[in-house]
Structure 1
């Protein structure tokens, strides 16, 4: 058996600077850290974009809620005033006063019209 020859080394290529190669191995290398950052930035922008419409809807609903609350407060005040007026109109003295203001008289009474009085 002949003696084992040492392993052959591959032939060395001339080393050129990366700028000298148009599409060399250095130019084709993928910078995964940059790709990851860009992907995360795009994901963040997508998430923010997804929150825009619900946020606008929330603000619009909040404004409508405030308007409806004001309307409800106004209607409650009106209801309280009408309830008080209804209670007032159930009193017989108030009924008589309102009827006389309208010019009504009781049966058997003689109506009088007084004119020429000074205004107070």
Structure 2
């Protein structure tokens, strides 16, 4: 089940709680498409693709590696950037993994780091939030 909610706080945004299942990244990409399409200005294609990749990788990492049943995704219009927050119930921070060219992964976290102009992880006893900013 996916719940999309209006975002309260600084700047226009969109938030959703996502079930931690294989369809979570699909729902997250749809949400990015809706969010970017609703911005008051056109987003350059390369920037839109970067936002889509960062969101997809962060949500996929939650599905593959985190504990808990739900995660949340928040997107925020920052004027010249999109703020991305993905939260889950696992306090363990993301860890770089060895790149595996046979298809077992290890590419997501380095990709998120490269595409984000800012990247922070806030760990709490009951979970964590990964904040990323993708500039236009």
TM-score band w.r.t. shorter chain: under 0.3
TM-score (norm 1): 0.21
TM-score (norm 2): 0.18
Higher strand share: 2
Q: Which has the larger radius of gyration?
A: 1
Higher helix share: 1
Higher relative contact order (Cα pairs below 8 Å, separated by 6+ residues): 2
